[in-house]
């Protein structure tokens, strides 16, 4: 009978665990869950985008083919990252962080590309890249590395605030340069989760969560009590549209209302794959951030719950790998990937159901986006690399 036996290095975090004889651990349930999510994403991208693509003269499979090409490149990246020992990337931790910051700044140059009114992409060699996605992966590596370097000093005020300051430059660049506050918040969420797992002291993180909730409530209260005649920012109007989407049905609340119509009309088992009405010009770019609402319309509550369960299964299997990783560095890398996926799934579904104000967050592995799916698959390659460090020991 084979079981997973973790071999942790009890000394300085981040140090390589000793080589132990035994078969490498391969989580086949994680592999098949990932394959199914990516395959399902391609099917839903075709279903949601075929009408829009046909109407624009690009061919019904245009977006699906582009995503499929990105998946092929992502598969290559995933295999490379799975084969290369994850400690190899430690030496590139700071370089990756710096490169991601430079890439964000490049959107201000002629390399910057405006898509649907937002300049958040750069064109390099004819390839469109979203620097925010690069920054998420780079931050996972750098935060994991720094947490291991600091070690027990993470419980001191100096160590805590030093780590808390690491994602601040990336957050500010994403917010002010690309006007992408949601990605900036995701970056900070990933960083705090890695710190939370690396730290034995949880009290300050509970206080941080309570403080963040209090600030959010205060901001919403201020926006609600500002006279309508006052000039509110775009994000302020989004909050008002979140509270009463019907009052902004012809403007900023339009997309949210259409998403809710799609979810409500799907019922228990949906209208059938490809039978959505809201994707036919009612929801702008349905293959992107609002794809979950089309899933609900076509596959119903049953399909929506099935997708959520698949994400829970993927996160659970990643947690098992993190818990059995051979050292702290590997565990924190997997924790960062878990945070990246979990935060985006929660935010995307919350936006589609109007649980939080509308903000642009893609659904991992399913929403259209070449950079996103390629780098998510690369991150999963890191997870598989960490799992290869777990050895199976035969019990007599």
Q: By C-alpha distance, which of 8, 373, 379, 351 is closest to 190?
A: 379
pLDDT tens-digit series, residues 314-349: 999 999 999 999 899 999 999 999 999 999 999 999
The count of other CB atoms within 10 Å of the CB of residue 115 is: 11
What's the mean pLDDT when you consider all of the chain? 88
pLDDT at 351 over 80: yes
SS3 readout for 360-380: CCCCCCCCCCHHHHHHHHHHH
| Owner of token pair 């925010």 | 132
* Residue with token string 């601040």: 168
* Closest to 69 (Cα-Cα) out of 374, 367, 372, 376: 374
Q: Is the pLDDT of residue 312 over 90?
A: yes
The model carries a pTM of 0.91
pLDDT, mean of residues 360-366: 93
- Token pair, residue 49, equals 């985008």
> Does residue 118 carry a pLDDT above 80?
no
Taking the C-alpha atoms of residue 308 and residue 9, their distance in angstroms, rounded to an integer, is 35
pLDDT digits (tens, 9 = 90+) for 11-35: 344 444 444 455 667 888 999 999 9
More confident residue, 378 or 234: 378
Q: What span, in angstroms and rounded, lies between the C-alpha atoms of 108 and 226?
A: 33
Q: What does the block give as tokens for 166?
A: 């690491």
Average pLDDT, integer, range 125-148: 92
Return the closest-CA partner of residue 68 out of 375, 376, 370, 388.
Answer: 370
Residues 6+ apart with CB under 8 A from 356: 242, 347, 350
pLDDT at residue 232 greater than cutoff 80: no
First to last CA, the chain: 8
**Digit-coded pLDDT (tens) for 155-212:** 899 999 999 999 999 999 999 998 888 999 999 999 999 999 998 888 889 999 999 9
Q: DSSP letter string over 178-236?
A: S--HHHHHHHHHHHHHHHHHH-S--HHHHHHHHHHHHHHHHHHHHHHHS-TTS---HHH
């Amino acid at each position: 009978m084979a079981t997973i036996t973790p071999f942790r290095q009890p000394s300085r975090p981040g140090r390589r665990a000793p080589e132990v004889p035994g078969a490498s651990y391969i989580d086949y349930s994680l592999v098949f869950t990932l394959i199914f999510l990516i395959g399902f994403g391609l099917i839903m991208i075709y279903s949601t985008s075929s009408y829009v693509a046909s109407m624009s003269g690009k061919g019904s499979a245009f977006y699906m083919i582009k995503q499929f090409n990105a998946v092929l490149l992502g598969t290559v990246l995933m295999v490379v990252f799975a084969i290369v020992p994850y400690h190899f990337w430690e030496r590139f931790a700071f370089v990756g962080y710096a490169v991601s910051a430079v890439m964000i700044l490049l959107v201000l140059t002629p390399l910057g590309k405006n898509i649907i009114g937002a300049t958040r992409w750069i064109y390099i060699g004819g390839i469109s890249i979203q620097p925010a996605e690069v920054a998420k992966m780079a931050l996972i590596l750098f935060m994991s590395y720094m947490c291991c370097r600091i070690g027990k000093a993470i419980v001191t005020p100096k160590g805590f605030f030093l780590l808390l300051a690491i994602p601040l430059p990336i957050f500010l660049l994403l917010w002010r340069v690309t006007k992408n506050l949601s990605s900036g918040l995701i970056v900070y969420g990933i960083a705090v989760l890695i710190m939370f797992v690396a730290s034995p002291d949880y009290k300050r993180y509970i206080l941080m969560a309570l403080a963040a909730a209090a600030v959010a409530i205060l901001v919403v209260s201020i926006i609600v009590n500002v006279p309508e005649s006052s000039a509110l920012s775009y994000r302020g109007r989004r909050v008002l549209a979140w509270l009463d989407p019907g009052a902004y049905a012809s403007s900023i609340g339009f997309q949210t209302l259409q998403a809710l119509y799609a979810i409500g009309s799907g019922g228990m088992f949906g209208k059938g794959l490809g039978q959505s009405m809201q994707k036919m010009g009612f929801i702008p770019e349905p293959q992107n951030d609002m794809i979950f609402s089309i899933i609900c319309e076509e596959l119903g509550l049953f399909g929506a719950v099935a997708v959520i369960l698949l994400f829970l299964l993927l996160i659970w299997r990643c947690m098992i790998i993190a818990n059995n990783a051979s050292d702290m560095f590997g565990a924190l890398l997997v924790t960062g990937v878990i945070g990246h996926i979990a935060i985006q799934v929660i935010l995307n579904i919350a936006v589609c159901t109007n649980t939080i104000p509308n903000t642009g967050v893609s659904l991992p592995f399913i929403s259209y986006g070449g950079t996103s799916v390629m780098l998510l698959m690369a991150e999963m390659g890191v997870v598989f690399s960490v799992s290869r460090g777990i050895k199976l020991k035969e019990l007599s």
